[in-house]
Structure 1
Amino acid sequence: LQRDVEEAKTSFQNKTLALQRIQLAAALRNKMKQNDNDSRMILETIKDIVKFSIAVIEYQQQAREKEQKLLDIKRKRFSLKKAGEQKLRQIHTMMKKQKEEQATMTVTKMMEKLHNDLERERQMTAIIQNVFQSIIIASRVNWAEDPSLRAVVLQLEKNV
């Protein structure tokens, strides 16, 4: 019931406003037909109102265009920010990968150096063993009869 009353009040007010507008328009038309000083002032006022209305519409259009440009700039800025973050992640990933590769290279180089050192030590040991065997053989000592020499020579044979 209260809703119906509110709707009736609103409808009555709208109809009253429409009637007042019609009455005002009719009064203005009648006054304009008189073509006196007041009607000229009303005409000038209406022209000014039209001019200001056009200016307001133009400014509203400019404001909409500027808002659209601002929105476009914000979108572009957001997309650039996202692209920058993506590039930063790519750079971080690349740097991490380079560090890993560098660490792997360092370990590989170190292992290669250790392998080369070990090989050189083996060669030196083999040379020393060969020299030692040659000394024992050249001295014409019967190494088979001496248990300590026999152990050394047999050990040298195993290592070679």
Structure 2
Amino acid sequence: MECNAAVLAEKENFLDYPIEENSIQSDTKKLQDAIEKAKGSFQNKTLALQRIQIMDALRKKLKQDDKDSRLILETIKHILLLSRTIIEYQQQARQKEEELIDIKRKRLLLKNREHKLQEMQTTMKKEKEKKESVNGVEIQEMHETLERARETTTILQNVLQGIIFGSTVNWAEYPSLKEIVLQLEKNVYFQ
């Protein structure tokens, strides 16, 4: 009776406090998580207990050394063989996965190197084109300079020939003048 009175009094006091909805939701979530955790723990303990019970029953049966126990022993040996095979295959699968990862890493490295090589080739090609264009401009300028020099030389040759012919000097008598006149008659463009 006193307990009921205390509980009722506590309920009345509890209802006097404002209840926050967020607090209730978070507390509910915590309690649900705790319940799920307890269920999982209970299931794991139940499974462990069942395994222990089965192993105990198998041990007792194997001690009987009859036809059923030999069949159970053969089945256990077969299970162990299959387990070893599974472990070996898992190890092989891990090795293959590691090899695959290594191959992917090498492919990525090669791809990066190929990209860098292409960038280098593009840069070298641009530099070569730039150099060729600069060389082309320089060669063009040299041709133009050579052409102007030839034109100037031709004009000078003609003027010098005109001076020699106009001076009424017999250039055929003087070997040095003869050589100069013959030299002046040569075309600059064919030299």
TM-score tier, shorter chain, comes to: 0.7 to 0.9
Q: Does 1:75 align with 2:105?
A: yes
CA RMSD between the two structures: 2.0
- The percent identity for this pair of structures is 44
For residues 91-131 of structure 1, the C-alpha deviation after alignment (integer angstroms, 9 at most, x for no partner) is: 22222222222222221111111111112222333444455
Q: Does 1:116 align with 2:116?
A: no
- Choose the corresponding residue for 2:91, options 33, 45, 61: 61
**By how many angstroms is 1:136 displaced?**
7.6
Aligned length: 138
Q: Which sections of structure 1, spanning at least 5 residues, go unmatched?
A: 139-160
**By how many angstroms is 1:132 displaced?**
5.6
Aligned to 2:53: 23
SS of equivalent residue, structure 2 residue 87: helix
- Give, in whole Å, the separation in 2 of the partners of 1:60 and 1:29: 30
For residues 38-89 of structure 1, the C-alpha deviation after alignment (integer angstroms, 9 at most, x for no partner) is: 1101100000000000000000000111111111111111111111122122
Moved more, 95-104 or 110-119: 95-104
Runs of 4+ in 1 over 6 A off after TM superposition: 133-138
Which fold has the larger relative contact order, with Cα–Cα distance below 8 Å and residues 6 or more apart in sequence? 2
For residues 128-157 of structure 1, the C-alpha deviation after alignment (integer angstroms, 9 at most, x for no partner) is: 44556677887xxxxxxxxxxxxxxxxxxx
The amino acid that maps onto 2:74 is E
Q: Per the alignment, do residues 109 and 4 of structure 1 end up closer, same or farther by CA in structure 2, a change over 3 Å counting? A: closer
- Give, in whole Å, the separation in 2 of the partners of 1:12 and 1:69: 42
User: TM-score, normalized by length of structure 2?
Assistant: 0.65
Q: Which sections of structure 2, spanning at least 5 residues, go unmatched?
A: 1-30, 169-191
The amino acid that maps onto 1:74 is K
